[in-house]
Chain A
Amino acid sequence: MADKEKRRSGVAAPEMPEGKATKSDSDREFLSQAGVGELLRGAILKMVEARSDDPIGFLADHFCHLASMSDRGAGTAGCGDGDQLSNGPLSAGAREQQHLNRALWHLRLAHHSQRSAFSNNVRVAYDLLNLTGPGKHSGETPEGQEGSCTESPTGGGGGGGGEGEGGGVRGSLYTQTLQCLCSEGGVPASTSAPLLRRLHCHDHEAVPYDVFRHGVLTCAVFSDYIRQAQRLYAEVCCPDEGPASRALCLAVLGTLKEALETSQGCDATCCVNANTKANVCLEANVKAIRYLKASAKISPHKLAAAMSGAQTRGPGGNMDAKEFENAAADLFITRVKVVS
C-alpha cells in the first residue's frame, strides 16, 4: 500500500524526477510521435482566442470535435452529442449536413464581440461550406487544416470577397446556416423570420463572402439583442402580477428606439464630415461619441424617467412577452438593409 501511494503521489508531480533520462526520452518521443504538442498548442490557441467563460468545457468540446473528425476516417461513431457518422461513402446530402454542422461549430467558438476570432471562424466556416458546391464530389478538407489553423485558409479575411474555388456558398446553405444560428441563439422562428427575409439570398445563388459574413454577424447580434429584450421584459413585468402594463412597455420601447436612432441617425452626417476631412481618427472619435450618446439614452436614469412618466399618462391595458419581443425585434429589423 505504501509503495502504491508513493507511486501515486509520483503521478501527480508535473515534472519527472531526475535520473530517469531514458524514461523521459521515451516519453518525449511518444509525445512527439502522437503529435500531442501540436494538438495542445492548437487547442490552447483556440481557447485563448475564444476567451470562453468555461475553458474546461471549451476544451472538452474542442477535443471531442477533433476526435469525431479523426474517427470518421476510422469509421467509428462520434462522441456524445456529435454527429453520428456512418461507414462507407457518404451521400451528397449527408456530406452537406456534415459540413454545415462543422461550420456551425466553428461559428459557435467565439462570441461576435471577440471580433478577430469571430472573423477567422466565419472565414473557416465559409470555406467549409464552399466545399459543398455543385461538382465538388471529392470535397474533403485536409484534416489538420481547420483544427489547428487560426489563419483563414484562403487568406484575405474580410477584404475583397474572395469567393474561393467553389465560386461562393450556395444560397440554400447560407439560409440554413442563418436559420440554425438564430434558433440556437434562442430566437423563435416567428421572430427571426422577418430578419431572414431581409437577409435572404436565392437558393441557387452563389453567396459571396462579404454577404455571408454580414448575414452571420447580423444573426449573431440579433440573437443577443432578442435575449436582452426578453430580459428587459422580465425586468419590466412583475412575475406575480401577470403581463406588464402596456404603458410601461411602450415607454421602454420608445427609449430603446430613440437610442437606436441616435446611434444610426448621426451616421450619415458623421460620415460626410469624416470623408471631407479624410480624417480616420476623427471618424473613430465621432463614432465613439455617438455610441456614448446612444448608451446615455438608455441609461437606467433616462429609462426610469420615461417609465414613471408613462405610468401616469400612458394607455391602459397590458402587453405580453411575445408582443414586446416582436416590437423590439421590429426596431432592430427595420435597421437591417435588404440583401439582393
Chain B
Amino acid sequence: MNESVCMRVCVFPGDSHVLFYLSDAVTQLLEHKEEYSQFGVSRYFAEYFSSVKNSNHVLFREFNYITATPHNRSSFIRVFWRCYRQIGKSGELLSVLEFRSLLQLLCPDFPVEMVQSTGRIVLMDDAVDCLMSFSDFIYAFQLQLYYREFLDSVLTIYQDLLAGKSPNTVIVPTSTSVELLPPVATEENDKERQQHDGVEASTLAECVDALCDRFKHSHPSRSSMTEILAEKDKICFYSFLMSLSKHGGVNQDIGALPSMAELLIDPEMDQELDKLVAQIAVSPGSNSSGSAVIGLKEQQRKASPRRNIHHRRKMEVESDGSTEETDSSEN
C-alpha cells in the first residue's frame, strides 16, 4: 500500500508542495510536542493547514521557510502589507534599515541583503540611504522576494552584456576577456557612460527570453518583460526592475497585493481596525477573543520570548485579528 501511495502522490500536481507542508507540520509538531499536542494532533494538523490556506502560516517563521514555496513568498508579502499598511497611509518615508526592522518583526532572521536589493530597485542603484515611500518599497520588495533567483540570473546576464560578452554562452560571473576591452585611455570614461545608458534592450530581451526557457524557478511572464523591454532602445538593470515592479500584470500574477491604486484602500480592514481599537480602549486588560482555546493560547504566547514583537500597537491590532490561524505556525 505504501508504494502505491508514493506512486500516486507523484502523479499529484507538484506545484502545491503538499509534501513540503506535511513534513514541516510534523517537524513543528516534534519541536513543540507538549504545546501542540494538548488539543489533539488532528486539531493541530487542522490548524496548521488552515493557516497555510489562509496565508497566515509564515508569520514569525524563519527566512528559509518563508522563501521555501511560491505560496509562502506571496503569503509573506501579503502579511507585510496587512501589518504595515497604516505606515503607507500616514505617508511616512522610511530608510532601508527601518524597513528591515519592520521585516524582522515578522521574520526574525530576515537578511538585510534582501532589503538592500529592494532599496536599489526603488532608488535605481544610487543613493541607497535615501528614504522610500511604503508603496514604492512594497512593490519592489514583492518583485525581489518572489523572483529572487530569476533576478540574480538576469543581473549576471546584464553584467556580462555590459562587459561586452555574449551571455548566451555558459554563465560564469567574472573572467574578463582582454581583447574585447577598448584601449586603456578611454576605458574608464567609456565604462561609466555604458553603465549609465545600460544595454541594448532588444539584446537583453533575447537573453531574458532564452533564460526563461531553461529556468526552473518561477519568473515574471514573458509578455510583461517583452513589453517593458520593447519600450526603450537602451535600458539599465534597475530601471528594468523598477518597471517590472510597477507592472500591473506582474503584480496580478503574484496575487499577493491589490493594484497600486487600491493599495491603501480597504474599508473593511479599516472598520475592523476601528472596532478593535475601540474594544481595546474600553477594556484595556481584557482579551478580545472569547473562546477558551484561543484564550489559553494567548497566554502561552504572552509567556513566550517573542512577546516583544507586540510592542507596537499597530502591529498588535492587525495581527491579533488573525490569531486563530497564526498560532499553529508559530513556534
A and B are partners in one complex rather than unrelated chains: yes
A residues with a Cβ closer than 8 A to B are 1, 4-5, 8-9, 11-14, 27, 30-31, 34-36, 39-41, 43-45, 47-48, 51, 54-57, 59-60, 63-64, 66-67, 70-71, 76-77, 79-80
- Measured in the bound complex, the distance between the Cα atoms of B291 and A66 in whole Å is 20
Q: A66, B30: Cβ atoms under 8 Å? A: no
Nearest residue (CB) in A for B20 is A14
Residues of B within 8 A of A39 (CB): 41-42, 45
Q: A30-B37, A56-B16, A56-B18 are in contact. List 17 more A-B contacts (CB 8 A).
A: A1-B108, A12-B27, A12-B62, A30-B30, A31-B26, A31-B30, A44-B22, A45-B5, A47-B18, A55-B16, A56-B49, A60-B53, A64-B46, A66-B42, A67-B42, A70-B40, A76-B293
Which listed residue, B23, B41, B45, B331, touches A59 by the CB 8 Å rule? B45
Q: B62, A67: Cβ atoms under 8 Å? A: no
Which listed residue, A8, A54, A66, A71, touches B62 by the CB 8 Å rule? A8
- Measured in the bound complex, the distance between the Cα atoms of B18 and A43 in whole Å is 11
- Measured in the bound complex, the distance between the Cα atoms of B28 and A70 in whole Å is 22
Q: B64, A12: Cβ atoms under 8 Å? A: yes
Q: A80, B18: Cβ atoms under 8 Å? A: no
Is B33 an interface residue, CB under 8 A from the partner? Answer: yes
Which listed residue, B16, B26, B30, B68, touches A12 by the CB 8 Å rule? B68
Known: A5-B109, A12-B68. A80 touches B42 (CB 8 A): no
Nearest residue (CB) in B for A82 is B46
Query: Looking at chain A's contact residues, is the secondary structure mostly helix, strand, loop, or mixed?
Result: helix
Q: B21, A8: Cβ atoms under 8 Å? A: no
- Measured in the bound complex, the distance between the Cα atoms of B64 and A12 in whole Å is 7
Residues of B within 8 A of A31 (CB): 26, 30
- Measured in the bound complex, the distance between the Cα atoms of B45 and A66 in whole Å is 10
- Measured in the bound complex, the distance between the Cα atoms of B108 and A40 in whole Å is 31
Q: Give min CB distance, A35 to chain B, whole Å.
A: 7
Q: A11, B9: Cβ atoms under 8 Å? A: no
Is B65 an interface residue, CB under 8 A from the partner? Answer: yes
Q: A66, B108: Cβ atoms under 8 Å? A: no
Nearest residue (CB) in B for A47 is B18
Q: Give min CB distance, B258 to chain A, whole Å.
A: 22
Residues of A within 8 A of B91 (CB): none
Q: Give min CB distance, B32 to chain A, whole Å.
A: 10
- Measured in the bound complex, the distance between the Cα atoms of B331 and A122 in whole Å is 40
Is B188 an interface residue, CB under 8 A from the partner? Answer: no
Q: B108, A79: Cβ atoms under 8 Å? A: no
- Measured in the bound complex, the distance between the Cα atoms of B50 and A56 in whole Å is 8
Nearest residue (CB) in A for B62 is A8
Q: B40, A11: Cβ atoms under 8 Å? A: no
Is B206 an interface residue, CB under 8 A from the partner? Answer: no
Which listed residue, A55, A56, A67, touches B46 by the CB 8 Å rule? A67
Known: A56-B53, A60-B50. A34 touches B12 (CB 8 A): no
Is B13 an interface residue, CB under 8 A from the partner? Answer: yes
Q: Give min CB distance, A214 to chain B, whole Å.
A: 29
- Measured in the bound complex, the distance between the Cα atoms of B19 and A48 in whole Å is 12
Q: Give min CB distance, B330 to chain A, whole Å.
A: 12
Q: B46, A79: Cβ atoms under 8 Å? A: yes
